[in-house]
Copies of this chain bind each other. A is one copy, B any other.
Amino acid sequence: MLLSVLYIIGITAEAMTGALSAGRRKMDWFGVMLVASAAAIGGGTVRDIVLGHYPLTWIENPQFLGITCLAGVLTTGLAKWVIKLKGLFIRLDALGLVAFSIIGTKVALDMGLHPSICMVSALLTGVFGGLLRDLICRQTPLVLHQELYASVALVASALYLLLLEFAIDGVTATVVTLIVGYLMRMAAVRFKWRLPSFNLEHEGSLH
A interface, CB within 8 angstroms of B? 17, 19-20, 22-32, 34, 45, 49-52, 54-56, 59, 62, 65-66, 76, 79, 82-83, 86, 89-90, 93, 113-114, 116-117, 120, 131, 135-136, 138, 140-146, 149-151, 194-201, 203-207
A145 CB contacts on chain B under 8 angstroms: 26-28, 31
Number of copies: 3
6 A–B contacts from the bound complex (CB under 8 Å) = A23-B200, A28-B194, A28-B198, A30-B151, A45-B50, A79-B203
**Nearest 10 CB-CB pairings of A with B:** A23-B200, A31-B144, A52-B54, A28-B195, A30-B150, A23-B198, A76-B198, A28-B197, A62-B116, A29-B195
Q: Which listed residue, B45, B65, B66, B198, touches A32 by the CB 8 Å rule?
A: B198
Expressed in whole angstroms, the Cα–Cα distance for A128 and B78 within the complex equals 29
A93 CB contacts on chain B under 8 angstroms: 206
Nearest-neighbor residue (CB-CB) of A55 within chain B: B52
A116 touches B198 (CB 8 A): no
Nearest-neighbor residue (CB-CB) of A29 within chain B: B195
Expressed in whole angstroms, the Cα–Cα distance for A29 and B149 within the complex equals 12
B17 touches A206 (CB 8 A): yes
A32 CB contacts on chain B under 8 angstroms: 198
A146 CB contacts on chain B under 8 angstroms: 207
A144 touches B65 (CB 8 A): no
A198 CB contacts on chain B under 8 angstroms: 19, 22-23, 26-29, 31-32, 76, 79
